[in-house]
């Protein structure tokens, strides 16, 4: 039998190294599921299409290559929109493959009520992608999928979307043309690099600020920072790919801690590598940064939200490599590791003096101890325990941290853990709240069915704790935030997961978390008790004024 469009799509996925597809079948996409079933690609069937997109996003964040989700026409596809918005905001590469109604029903004006029909399905995805394609020509589908995978991965990474009318999938399709080479990032010229190197050498207190777009270059970045004697501040998003672990040049506290804010403010040149300098990291652009030297592949980002003294359009890895060949070693008395150690000691002392910080720090300390030096991906949700984790969990070369910041998308962590577990990288640990876990609680079934090595740590405070804090501040009372808690360990056991509960204040917390990490396959640990949000959350920003 001649290969069909569905077969050709699978060929393209394989050519791009895709090993896993996350999705849900529907009558329109069955031909693609069937072709995948005949291929070596692992198909992970999830319990909601948003979960498929979160899983694809997590794969993208961890590997830099697009994760793939597969949905059916109409509501199946639309269910993925919020998750794609999160991937877009967090600069994560992913591909959403889906279908539409058959060609004979397209272009007929208003919806005629054909199953899953929406005359403007593609338009739903334009705002959350860098590329959308509607491909109704059987000979053009494979090329469009190839193009979409390449576009999603090209920096700045983003989601891409391809929809195919259901009747096209079963048609015979010719051998696809080999795609062109991937687009190369712009390369800065030698004079530009020389000027940048001279500016850095002339600085008395240089600082390097690393975002997700550069985080995969830990080795060269640290080498450059040592040459310059410059502190290295990581954004939350950078921790998805940073292999450098903790380092004497990397503050162990976020820039929201006043001592680290002061460190940033003292810098007279800030080399910004692959970072948006986003509102959440900079307290909505209040963080004082002087002498911004900006390196980014996105020309629209070079002068916003901070004006740059020097702006270089280019790939951070290339620029850092170029600078390493040009910058001489400089001794900067009173700066570098000494200044970082001082800022960390001050931040730690300030936190130790705050009763409010104790529960959050106890959680992070216990998780750190339980993780030890095992390989792990920690997937954070929008929950108080996760805000502490994303900002304060000590870095280690064995650890990656994923965080939806980003778009601030509650419900990200549990489904994202599916993609993280399939991507490899060790034990996956979800840190979420008792509100967020219920967004995708059905994915406990996916974890069990696939036997994924995921530990779901649920911080339970009987409600939307972060909003309680916001309300107390804004209105002096709470409302619409108390949730009747289910018996979470019992729920997990119902899905076939081992589960246990421990109190946040109990001495055995680290042991209980470690027990949850030692399980083969999935398990759930409930940590009962309330925490106060850290200073990285907007109502607690010290620079709010």
- 3-state secondary structure at position 175: coil
> How far is Cα 261 from Cα 155, in angstroms, rounded to an integer?
29
| Residue for token pair 């005359």 | 119
> How far is Cα 405 from Cα 348, in angstroms, rounded to an integer?
24
- Minimum CB distance to ligand TPP, residue 404 (Å): 8
212 or 409, CB closer to ligand TPP? 409
- Minimum CB distance to ligand TPP, residue 461 (Å): 5
Q: Could you say which of ligand TPP, Mg ion, none residue 12 binds, taking C-beta under 5 to 8 angstroms by partner kind?
A: none
Q: What are the distances in angstroms from CA 312 to CA 70, 292, 304, 472, 523?
A: 37, 11, 13, 45, 47
Residue 467 binds ligand TPP, judged by CB under 6 A: yes
216 or 433, CB closer to Mg ion? 433
> How far is Cα 188 from Cα 294, in angstroms, rounded to an integer?
12
- 3-state secondary structure at position 512: helix
| Window contacting Mg ion (CB under 5 A); options: 131-139, 211-219, 267-275, 431-439 | 431-439
Residue 461 binds ligand TPP, judged by CB under 6 A: yes
CA 190-194-198 angle, to 5 degrees, is 175
Q: What are φ and ψ of residue 463, in 5° steps?
A: 165, -170
Instruction: Among 74, 159, 291, 433, indicate the residue that binds Mg ion (CB under 5 A).
Output: 433
Residues 469-488 interacting with ligand TPP (rule: CB under 6 A): none
Q: Which of 96, 92, 108 is nearest to 72 (CA)?
A: 96
Q: State the DSSP H helix or E strand holding residue 21, giving kind and residue range, or none if neither.
A: strand 20-23
408 or 542, CB closer to ligand TPP? 408
In terms of DSSP H, where are the helices of 107-156?
141-153
Please count the residues of this chain forming the interface with ligand TPP, following the rule CB under 6 A: 19
315 or 461, CB closer to Mg ion? 461
Beta-strand pair 94-100/159-165: parallel
- 3-state secondary structure at position 30: helix
Note whether 162 and 122 are within 8 A (CB).
no
225 or 413, CB closer to ligand TPP? 413
| Window contacting ligand TPP (CB under 6 A); options: 94-102, 163-171, 177-185, 432-440 | 432-440
Residue 163 binds ligand TPP, judged by CB under 6 A: no
Kindly write down the DSSP assignment for every residue of 308-335, as one continuous string. Answer: -SEEEES-HHHHHHHHHTTPPP---TT-
DSSP summary character for residue 540? G
> How far is Cα 400 from Cα 414, in angstroms, rounded to an integer?
16
Residue 276 binds Mg ion, judged by CB under 5 A: no
Q: Could you say which of Mg ion, ligand TPP, none residue 466 binds, taking C-beta under 5 to 8 angstroms by partner kind?
A: ligand TPP
Residues whose CB falls within 8 Å of the CB of residue 30, separated by 6 or more in sequence, listed in order: none
Counting Cα atoms < 13 Å in the Cβ hemisphere of 71 gives 29
Residues 346-405 interacting with Mg ion (rule: CB under 5 A): none
Q: Which of 469, 458, 438 is nearest to 523 (CA)?
A: 458
Residue 441 binds ligand TPP, judged by CB under 6 A: no
26 or 463, CB closer to ligand TPP? 463
Q: State the DSSP H helix or E strand holding residue 460, giving kind and residue range, or none if neither.
A: strand 454-460
229 or 433, CB closer to Mg ion? 433
Beta-strand pair 292-296/376-380: unpaired
Instruction: Among 436, 489, 516, 522, indicate the residue that binds ligand TPP (CB under 6 A).
Output: 436
> How far is Cα 56 from Cα 33, in angstroms, rounded to an integer?
17
Q: Could you say which of ligand TPP, Mg ion, none residue 372 binds, taking C-beta under 5 to 8 angstroms by partner kind?
A: none
Residue 459 binds ligand TPP, judged by CB under 6 A: yes
Residue 466 binds ligand TPP, judged by CB under 6 A: yes
> How far is Cα 93 from Cα 90, in angstroms, rounded to an integer?
9
Instruction: Among 6, 35, 249, 410, indicate the residue that binds ligand TPP (CB under 6 A).
Output: 410
- Minimum CB distance to Mg ion, residue 283 (Å): 24
320 or 431, CB closer to ligand TPP? 431
- 3-state secondary structure at position 100: strand
Residues 354-383 interacting with ligand TPP (rule: CB under 6 A): 382-383
Note whether 413 and 385 are within 8 A (CB).
no
Kindly write out the interface string for residues 495-514 of this chain, putting x where it contacts ligand TPP by CB under 6 A and - elsewhere.
--------------------
> How far is Cα 524 from Cα 444, in angstroms, rounded to an integer?
9
Q: Could you say which of ligand TPP, Mg ion, none residue 467 binds, taking C-beta under 5 to 8 angstroms by partner kind?
A: ligand TPP
| Window contacting Mg ion (CB under 5 A); options: 239-247, 263-271, 310-318, 463-471 | 463-471
- Minimum CB distance to ligand TPP, residue 337 (Å): 35
Q: Could you say which of Mg ion, ligand TPP, none residue 382 binds, taking C-beta under 5 to 8 angstroms by partner kind?
A: ligand TPP
Residue 122 binds ligand TPP, judged by CB under 6 A: no
Note whether 353 and 500 are within 8 A (CB).
no
Instruction: Among 409, 455, 536, 537, indicate the residue that binds ligand TPP (CB under 6 A).
Output: 409
Instruction: Among 159, 433, 516, 522, indicate the residue that binds ligand TPP (CB under 6 A).
Output: 433
Residue 436 binds Mg ion, judged by CB under 5 A: no
Structure tokens at 238: 């950078």
Instruction: Among 435, 489, 516, 522, indicate the residue that binds Mg ion (CB under 5 A).
Output: 435
Instruction: Among 66, 465, 489, 522, indicate the residue that binds Mg ion (CB under 5 A).
Output: 465
Residue 7 binds ligand TPP, judged by CB under 6 A: no
Cα Rg of the chain (Å, integer): 24
Residue 136 binds ligand TPP, judged by CB under 6 A: no
Q: At what angle do helices 5-15 and 141-153 cross, to 10 degrees?
A: 30
- Minimum CB distance to Mg ion, residue 385 (Å): 9
Residue 49 binds ligand TPP, judged by CB under 6 A: no
Which residues here bind ligand TPP, judged by CB under 6 A? 382-385, 408-411, 432-436, 459, 461, 464-467
Which residues here bind Mg ion, judged by CB under 5 A? 433-435, 461, 465
């Amino acid at each position: 039998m001649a290969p069909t469009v569905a077969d050709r799509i699978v060929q393209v996925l394989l050519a791009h190294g895709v090993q896993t597809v996350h999705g849900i079948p529907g009558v329109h996409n069955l031909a693609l599921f069937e072709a995948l079933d005949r291929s070596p690609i692992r198909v992970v069937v999830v319990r909601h299409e948003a979960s498929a997109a979160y899983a694809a996003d997590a794969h993208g964040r961890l590997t830099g290559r697009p994760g793939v989700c597969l949905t059916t026409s109409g509501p199946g596809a639309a269910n993925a929109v919020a998750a794609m918005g999160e991937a877009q905001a967090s600069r994560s590469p992913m591909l959403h493959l889906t279908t539409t109604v058959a060609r004979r029903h397209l272009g007929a004006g208003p919806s005629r009520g054909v199953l899953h029909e929406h005359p403007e399905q593609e338009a739903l995805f334009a705002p959350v992608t860098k590329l959308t394609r509607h491909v109704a020509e059987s000979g053009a589908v494979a090329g469009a999928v190839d193009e979409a995978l390449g576009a999603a991965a090209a920096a700045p990474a983003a989601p891409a979307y391809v929809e195919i009318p259901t009747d096209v999938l079963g048609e015979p399709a010719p051998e696809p043309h080999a795609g062109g080479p991937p687009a190369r990032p712009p390369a800065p010229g030698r004079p530009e690099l020389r000027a940048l190197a001279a500016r850095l050498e002339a600085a008395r207190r240089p600082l390097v600020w690393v975002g997700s777009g550069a985080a995969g270059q830990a080795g060269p970045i640290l080498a450059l920072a040592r040459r310059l004697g410059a502190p290295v501040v990581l954004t939350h998003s950078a921790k998805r790919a940073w292999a450098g672990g903790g380092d004497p040049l990397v503050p162990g506290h976020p820039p929201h801690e006043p001592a680290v804010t002061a460190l940033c403010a003292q810098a007279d040149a800030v080399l910004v590598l692959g970072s948006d300098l986003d509102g959440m990291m900079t307290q909505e652009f209040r963080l004082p940064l002087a002498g911004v030297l900006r390196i980014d592949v996105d020309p629209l980002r070079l002068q916003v939200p901070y004006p740059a003294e020097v702006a270089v359009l280019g790939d951070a890895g290339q620029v850092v490599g170029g600078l390493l060949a040009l910058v001489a070693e400089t001794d900067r008395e009173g700066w570098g590791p000494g200044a970082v150690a001082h800022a960390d000691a001050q931040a730690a002392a300030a936190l130790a003096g705050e009763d409010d910080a104790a529960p959050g720090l106890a959680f992070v300390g216990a998780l750190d101890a339980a993780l030890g030096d095992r390989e792990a991906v920690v997937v954070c949700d929008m929950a108080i325990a996760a805000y502490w984790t994303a900002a304060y969990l000590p870095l280690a070369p064995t650890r990656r941290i994923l965080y939806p910041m980003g778009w601030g998308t509650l419900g990200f962590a549990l489904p994202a853990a599916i993609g993280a577990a399939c991507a490899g990288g060790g034990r996956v640990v979800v840190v979420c709240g008792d509100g967020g876990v219920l967004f995708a609680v059905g994915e406990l079934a996916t974890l069990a069915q696939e036997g994924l090595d995921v530990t779901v740590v649920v911080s339970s405070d009987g409600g939307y704790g972060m909003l309680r804090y916001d309300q107390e501040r804004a209105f002096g009372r709470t409302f619409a935030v108390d949730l009747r808690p289910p018996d979470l360990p019992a729920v997990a056991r119902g899905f076939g997961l081992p589960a246990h509960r421990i109190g946040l204040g109990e001495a055995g917390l680290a042991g209980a978390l470690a027990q949850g990490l030692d399980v083969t396959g999935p398990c759930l640990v409930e940590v009962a008790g309330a925490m106060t949000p850290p200073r990285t959350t907007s109502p607690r920003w010290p620079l709010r004024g």
